[in-house]
Amino acid sequence: MPATHALADKLPAVSGSSGRLIVQPSQAETSEREWPGRIFEDPALTYEEAMLDFVAASQEPASQPEPEPQGKQADQVSLKAAQQVLRREEAQLRDERRRIREKRKLEDAAWKEAQAARKAEAQAYQALSKAERRQQRKVKQGQDEQWRALRKQRCASLEVRTQADEAWRQKRRSLRERLSQLPVVTTWIAILVVIDNCTRQCLGLPLFVAGPKVTSERIVEALRILLPPELLFLISDRGTHFKAHAFQKLVLSEAFIHVRIARHRPQSNGIAERFVRTLKEWLQDKAWREDEELAPLLQQFLDEYNDRPHQGLAIPGLSPNE
């Protein structure tokens, strides 16, 4: 889900099941073929039998290398790489500026010490008698000559500083202009959909501001709170979060069967997919600018969704909460 949304914008189709955030328009089914979900078409099977057959038919095939990104996905990868290059240049420029400032602090401290020493010399010379001044005249002339050279060096150093500051400002402006010319990348918020396939009750919509970078540990923390103790099957996509060691520990500790849907067949988890569609339709005319504004909207939707009758239930006229 985008971290910000305007009323005029259409919510995009988003998938993170491959471990990367993929934004793409929904596509109509173009071909008919066999898939594990068709097991549920057999009316002779009980729910548990069909689910177990589905798990067996959906076993993970031999791992294959990830396909190279193409089209918009490739553009997003190249855009991210360009941003990273510019951010590194910006960080290097900032570090260099910090080192220069530290060096200048030492130079300024040394100049103040030299000024203090010059003032002390002048006061000591004024305290001498005329006869002593005549004796110290050559020493005084040498000190004056040395001070003039030191001041000349200081003025040259300040001039160099002015030129360096202007060059640094130009580099910073150039970097900011190059960054501003890159297309804007939408910040994403991840929402975990937890829904009961039998009652259609949504058990929760935990929100993660980390977006596609949310960890499996965070997913597991949310599931431990939301999952009912009598759970037998948990259906999910094939995202990396549901293959991680932390999630496997949850499966063992809670003693349920993990069912992963068939590849490229979101219909295998059709109830959750239809829920996401309903959620997006409900949010379409809503606006938010940050996660703190989105969270109460999700809670409002959750209450309304669970309290209204559903067409897909075996007993029509009842809400998921009933």
Share of the chain above pLDDT 90, in %: 32
Mean pLDDT of the chain: 82
Residue 6 has pLDDT above 90, yes or no: no
pLDDT (tens digit, 9 = 90+) per residue, 81-105? 888 888 888 899 999 999 999 999 9
Residue 118: pLDDT band (50, 70, 90) is very high
* Mean pLDDT (whole number) for 189-198: 88
3-state SS, the chain, equals CECCECCCCCCCCEECCCCCCEECCCCCCCCCCCCHHHHHHCCCCCHHHHHHHHHHHCCCCCCCCCCCCCHHHHHHHHHHHHHHHHHHHHHHHHHHHHHHHHHHHHHHHHHHHHHHHHHHHHHHHHCCCHHHHHHCHHHHHHHHHHHHHHHHHHHHHHHHHHHHHHHHHHHHHHHHHHHHHCCCCCCECEECCEECCCCCCEEECCEECCHHHCCHHHHHHHHHHHCCCCCCEEEECCCHHHCCHHHHHHHHHHCCEEEECCCCCHHHHHHHHHHHHHHHHHHCCCCECCHHHHHHHHHHHHHHHHHCCCCCCCCCCCCCCC
Residue 274 has pLDDT above 80, yes or no: yes
pLDDT (tens digit, 9 = 90+) per residue, 30-56? 445 566 767 777 778 787 777 777 777
pLDDT of res. 47: 74
Residue 28 has pLDDT above 50, yes or no: no
Residue 64 has pLDDT above 60, yes or no: no
Q: What value does the CA radius of gyration of the chain take, rounded to a whole number of Å?
A: 34
pTM tops 0.75: no
Residue 240: pLDDT band (50, 70, 90) is confident
pLDDT of res. 186: 65
Phi-psi region of 6 (alpha: psi -120 to 50; beta: other; left: phi over 0): beta
Residue 130 has pLDDT above 60, yes or no: yes
* Residues 6+ away with beta carbon under 8 Å from 318: 309, 310
pLDDT (tens digit, 9 = 90+) per residue, 150-178? 999 999 999 999 999 999 999 999 988 88
Residue 26: pLDDT band (50, 70, 90) is very low
Phi/psi for 128 (5° steps) reads -75, 155
* Mean pLDDT (whole number) for 216-243: 90
Residue 29: pLDDT band (50, 70, 90) is very low
Query: 137-181 vs 71-126: helix axis angle to the nearest 10?
Result: 170
